[in-house]
Chain A
């Protein structure tokens, strides 16, 4: 279930990244594009719980780490949105995915050629806004004054450390205008369809078996 996958980096280099997979060579194979940054931690258990339910429903699923995430040896600060999009595209090919399930900001890197779902998709500007806000609040608490506009200006040129994540200048510039787009055969799943509130809202990582049942049910029920 837990292994690695090899992804080609720039300049011909390759890196090995973590892979969580339920692969029993079945017809339906779902590529999971997870949430990002702090939301990735908060939704990790929920995401894998959904995959366990898909497995029980006879559907394979794959949750690949992208370079710079989790245990990756690649520095996060060197990653770009375009690079991550290419990475998920490569993952789709490597695992012969037939569908994609993108969660929150994962929708920004969902391969467009796969049918599937965007669960509670988040835009780049909203993601940045939350991270910048957390930073200005933390600064204020520490007795320093930081301004969101000035931080963004600096970030576009030099990159920024936001919420403990080092984001490169290119990534910040790309996220400023990144909107999730539904490709043909893809549809939105709103939080209201799962019942309850999104687990990414919580201050701490959580779990909700009823929501996992609901999301897996939608995927299993509507995957052709």
Chain B
């Protein structure tokens, strides 16, 4: 269900503006579609619980490396090795929350 006052329920503590969150959402979906060669409509349909690593056959370790490098380039963030774990890559929502936190801590 939608949160009170139309705010999304999954807001994370850094509280980015809705416009920023929407921009990140579409950037991240576009990036995943580019890297994995997915139909943009398939990526656009991702929800927070959509499975990534271990769920999409295209996403092997080399593709994950490419995805992270592309995230660094396009979002202007630096991803340390220690940041990368199975949880962050498991679902689309986790990856988006990770990117959001990285952007907030720049």
Which A residues fall within an 8 A CB radius of B? 38, 126, 129-131, 133-138, 140-141, 147-148, 163, 197, 200-204, 206
Number of interface residues of B (CB under 8 A): 20
Q: Is the C-beta of B84 less than 8 angstroms from some C-beta in chain A?
A: yes
A-B contact count (CB 8 A): 55
Looking at the assembled complex, report how far the CB atom of A56 sits from the nearest CB atom of chain B, in whole angstroms.
27
> Which listed residue (A38, A141, A163, A203) contacts B35, Cβ 8 A?
A203
A204 lies within 8 A of B37 (CB): yes
B58 lies within 8 A of A133 (CB): no
**Complex Cα gap A135–B81 (Å):** 11
Q: Is the C-beta of B85 less than 8 angstroms from some C-beta in chain A?
A: yes
A137 lies within 8 A of B64 (CB): yes
Q: In this complex, which of B36, B59, B65, B69 has the most chain A Cβ atoms within 10 angstroms of its Cβ?
A: B65
B34 lies within 8 A of A130 (CB): no
| In the complex, residue of chain A having the shortest beta-carbon distance to the beta carbon of B30 | A197
Which B residues fall within an 8 A CB radius of A? 34-37, 58-66, 68-70, 81, 84-86
**Complex Cα gap A163–B64 (Å):** 12
**Complex Cα gap A126–B72 (Å):** 12
Q: A130-B65, A135-B61 are in contact. List 8 more A-B contacts (CB 8 A).
A: A38-B62, A126-B69, A129-B69, A136-B81, A140-B86, A201-B66, A202-B36, A203-B59
A133 lies within 8 A of B34 (CB): no
**Complex Cα gap A24–B59 (Å):** 42
B35 lies within 8 A of A137 (CB): no
| In the complex, residue of chain A having the shortest beta-carbon distance to the beta carbon of B34 | A197
**Complex Cα gap A129–B73 (Å):** 13
**Complex Cα gap A147–B35 (Å):** 25
**Complex Cα gap A201–B62 (Å):** 10
Residues of A within 8 A of B62 (CB): 38, 134, 163, 203
